[in-house]
Amino acid sequence: MKIKAIEPIAVDLPMHKPVTMAGETVARADNMLIRVASDDGHVGWGEAAAAPTMTGETVPGMIAAVRYLAPPLLGAPADELAAASAAMNAVMYGNNAAKAAIEMALHDLVARAAGRPLYALFGAKLRSRIPVLAVLGSGIDADDLREAQVRWAAGYRAFKIKVGLSGPEADAARTRAVCVLLKRQGESSGEACLVSVDANQGFSVDEALRYVSALGNCGLDFFEQPVHAHDLDGMARVAAASPVPIGADEGIHSLDDIERHHARRAAAGVSLKAIKLGGLRAMRDACRLCDRLGMKVNLSCKTGESSIASAAALHLAATVPALAWGLTLTNAGLAEDVTAEPLSIEGGHAVVPDRPGLGIEVDERRVRHEVSARRVA
Ligand SMILES: [Mg+2]
């Protein structure tokens, strides 16, 4: 089975409501889909979100990158997945989101052609029903508290509060209020409850130190990316002072970055996204590395990614050695998805599909004629 065509498709999907984080508000999702076809008639789908402040990649930029990345793959065996990544890396530096979308589509194609679920390409299924993180991203105390209660009632048992928005003391007060509420719910029902916060690089080192000292003992599980991605010294200072384990997200774009954070004691865990690492296999390798180093892992989609990227993250999550900091899927935040039946999240948990490939069906007619056309208009 050889790769016959690699086609990028720009989509623009509305969100139910904007997600506010430090440095960015995502009100609509600007994503690139990839459709790959094999010479024997199989098709696979991949996706990457534009993330100008995280990967530096935009939809037009990713589509331009695909013009460089596709030619060496055309005619190559579709199931040589490591070779495909190596071929892309040989012709182009960086552009990990564009590479990830192509690599994801190849995984879907190969798994579909074999009639196996995508997770089977990575090994045994270790989890079949996985709690997903509910993101509380209003930045407003009352709204985040209300959303936390609604999500708890709906079955969510893992949460992420966006901070770095309204000053360290006000953010700490909001964190405490939400965290205490959720941890109390967990204790009274006897259920595990994961609560995290994410500053998305929004604090200076001094602000992050003020934030952690104002947190008190509220039971928070981890604090993601307090300061700028490249400020490992700052990360290490916050980690040394913080009662809560520190995670790195925007600072992690490679396995080397993970090693560096570990060596500098700048993070106790990481958030891994396909768009940052360049594909699912790199994510899998990063998970193994974290396991060896004793670092915690959160697997995540970028805000606004549809059922395609969400299904890919879910399949990988089913197989990785450990997933202590949870799984963040994003398709439920979209008012419009690209599949006839969106990946289902029931009671705050995602069920790993056993159908071939990603286990979802992209509505190609809608993608081409409605979603894509609206973008051009
Ligand atoms: Mg993050």
pLDDT along the chain (377 residues), means of 10: 97 87 81 98 98 94 97 98 98 98 98 98 96 88 92 96 92 96 95 95 97 93 97 98 97 98 98 98 98 98 96 98 95 92 92 97 89 57
Measured in angstroms, how far is the CA atom of residue 372 from the centroid of ligand 1?
28
User: Residue 97 C-alpha to ligand 1 middle, in angstroms?
Assistant: 16
User: Rounded to two decimals, what is the model's pTM?
Assistant: 0.95
Residue 343 CA to ligand 1 center (angstroms) comes to 22
* Ordered structural domains, the chain, with CATH: 3-115 (3.30.390.10), 121-351 (3.20.20.120)
Side-chain half-sphere CA neighbours of 166 within 13 A: 15
Q: How far is the CA of 370 from the centre of ligand 1 (A)?
A: 31
The predicted pLDDT at position 374 comes to 61
Question: In angstroms, how far is CA 174 from the centroid of its own chain?
Answer: 24
pLDDT of residue 377: 41
Q: Residue written as tokens 């690699």?
A: 6
Alpha-carbon span 246 to 81, nearest angstrom: 33
Q: How far is the CA of 228 from the centre of ligand 1 (A)?
A: 12
Q: 216 C-alpha vs ligand 1 centroid, how far in Å? A: 22
| Alpha helices for 155-306 (secondary structure H) | 168-189, 205-215, 232-241, 255-263, 274-277, 280-293
CA–CA distance, 221 with 210 (Å, rounded to integer): 18
So what's the pLDDT on residue 230?
Answer: 95
Q: What is the pLDDT of residue 27?
A: 83
Which pLDDT score, from 0 to 100, does residue 373 have? 56
Q: Separation of 249 CA from ligand 1 center, angstroms?
A: 5
Distance 132 CA to ligand 1 centre (A): 14
Å from CA of 75 to ligand 1 middle: 37
Separation of 192 CA from ligand 1 center, angstroms?
A: 22
Secondary structure of the chain: what % helix, strand, coil (to 5)? 40, 25, 35
- With 0-12 / 13-18 / 19 or more C-beta atoms within 10 angstroms meaning exposed / middle / buried, residue 41 is exposed
Give the distance (Å) from ligand 1 centre to CA of residue 1. 38
Ligand 1 midpoint to CA 201 (Å): 9
> 325 C-alpha vs ligand 1 centroid, how far in Å?
12
Q: What separation in Å is there between the alpha carbon of 373 and the centre of ligand 1? A: 31
- CA 77 to ligand 1 centroid distance, Å: 35
- Whether 226 and 204 have beta carbons less than 8 Å apart is answered as no
Nearby residues for ligand 1 (ion, Cβ within 5 Å): 198, 224, 249
Calpha distance 313→305 (Å, rounded): 11
Instruction: Give the distance (Å) from ligand 1 centre to CA of residue 199.
Output: 7
Q: Which two tokens stand for residue 292?
A: 């060896």
pLDDT of residue 139: 77
C-alpha 332 – ligand 1 centre gap (Å): 17
CA–centroid distance, residue 60 to ligand 1 (Å):
24
- Report how far ligand 1's centroid is from the alpha carbon of 185 (Å): 25
Q: Which two tokens stand for residue 67?
A: 């013009």
For residue 95, the one-letter residue type is N
CB 15 within 8 A of CB 68: no
Residue 14 alpha carbon to ligand 1 centre in Å = 21
Q: How far is the CA of 222 from the centre of ligand 1 (A)?
A: 11
pLDDT at residue 24, rounded to an integer: 74
